[in-house]
């Protein structure tokens, strides 16, 4: 009887000992397994690309400017458009039609954007012939102006790496940039440059917490040829968060000799 009780006790002790060993081994295996698992990712890596960046002008020139008005109002310009003396256009001897020029009057410090749609001036001492409306915006005598030109076709409008499209754009303060269209809320569009400028100004007065920008895109449905620029470009008006607009300045590079 005593031997039977002793045997049972020994068996119970042996079972407890085996249970403890198995538990220890299980814990060690769990720890080893946990050590071999990859650490959880705590941060994600994003590819970065610009929403906005400054661009160089394609041509820069300074000198005297002139203007023309009612004597030519509603007459055809060299590109076939009808001249609007109150519009925001200009004549230049070399720049391609459709080029956008930021003109600064050095005397007054005022700026204006104009679209090249005519040839001139015919007085060799003048570098630019402004519509009366554009000249009136600048004030001053036009004795010394700075003209920085931007040619829409020379803008690389697609970022292959980011798969995003950028367009030539101008802030309400005439700052040029390359702007990602996905960063904009498009509000309106038209094919007339003067109307686009007017729309941008009207909306800028109403919308205070967003940057109202003018974006320029070649019109894919344009079928004209030669010198005509009627409907050649689409001018978009977009609302952009102010922090997206890049304020870094870079110098221009002459391409027209």
Domains in the chain, start-ordered, CATH in brackets?
59-150 (2.40.40.10), 153-244 (no CATH)
Mean pLDDT, rounded, of the chain: 81
Highest mean pLDDT (candidates 24-28, 98-102, 162-166): 98-102
pLDDT at 13 (0 to 100) = 54
pLDDT at 3 over 60: no
pLDDT at 109 over 50: yes
Establish whether the linkage from the previous residue to 97 is cis, with ω within 30° of 0: no
| Dihedral, 123, 128, 134, 138 alpha carbons, nearest 10 | -100
pLDDT at 198 (0 to 100) = 97
pLDDT at 253 over 70: no
Its pTM surpasses 0.85? no
pLDDT at 245 (0 to 100) = 79
Cα 117 to Cα 78: distance, rounded to the nearest angstrom: 7
pLDDT tens digits along 165-186: 889 999 999 999 999 988 899 9
pLDDT tens digits along 236-246: 999 999 988 75
pLDDT at 140 (0 to 100) = 87
93: CB partners within 8 A, 6+ apart: 119, 120, 121
Average pLDDT, integer, range 148-156: 89
Lowest mean pLDDT across 43-47, 83-87, 100-104, 195-199: 43-47
Cα 89 to Cα 189: distance, rounded to the nearest angstrom: 18
pLDDT at 31 (0 to 100) = 37
């Amino acid at each position: 009887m005593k031997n039977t009780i002793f045997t049972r006790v020994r068996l119970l002790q042996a079972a407890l000992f085996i249970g403890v060993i198995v538990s220890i081994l299980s814990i060690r295996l769990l720890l080893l397994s946990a050590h071999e698992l990859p650490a959880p990712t705590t941060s994600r890596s994003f590819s970065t690309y610009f929403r906005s960046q400054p661009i160089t002008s394609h041509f820069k020139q300074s000198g005297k400017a002139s203007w023309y008005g009612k004597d030519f109002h509603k007459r055809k310009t060299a590109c076939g458009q009808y001249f609007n003396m109150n519009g925001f256009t200009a004549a230049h001897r070399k720049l391609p039609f459709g080029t956008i020029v930021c003109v600064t009057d050095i005397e007054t410090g005022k700026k204006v954007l104009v679209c090249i749609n005519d040839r001139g001036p015919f007085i060799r001492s003048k570098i630019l012939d402004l519509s009366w409306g554009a000249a009136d915006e600048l004030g001053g005598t036009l004795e010394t102006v700075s003209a920085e030109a931007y040619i829409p076709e020379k803008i690389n409008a697609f970022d292959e790496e980011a798969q995003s499209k950028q367009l030539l754009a101008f802030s309400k303060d005439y700052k040029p940039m390359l702007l990602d269209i996905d960063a904009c809320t498009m509000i309106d569009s038209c094919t007339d440059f003067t109307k686009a400028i007017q729309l941008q100004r009207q909306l800028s007065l109403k919308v205070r917490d967003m940057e109202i920008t003018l974006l320029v895109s070649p019109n894919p449905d344009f079928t004209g040829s030669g010198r005509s620029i009627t409907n050649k470009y689409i001018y978009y008006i977009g609302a952009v968060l102010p922090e997206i607009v890049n304020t870094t300045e870079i110098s221009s590079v002459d391409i027209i000799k």
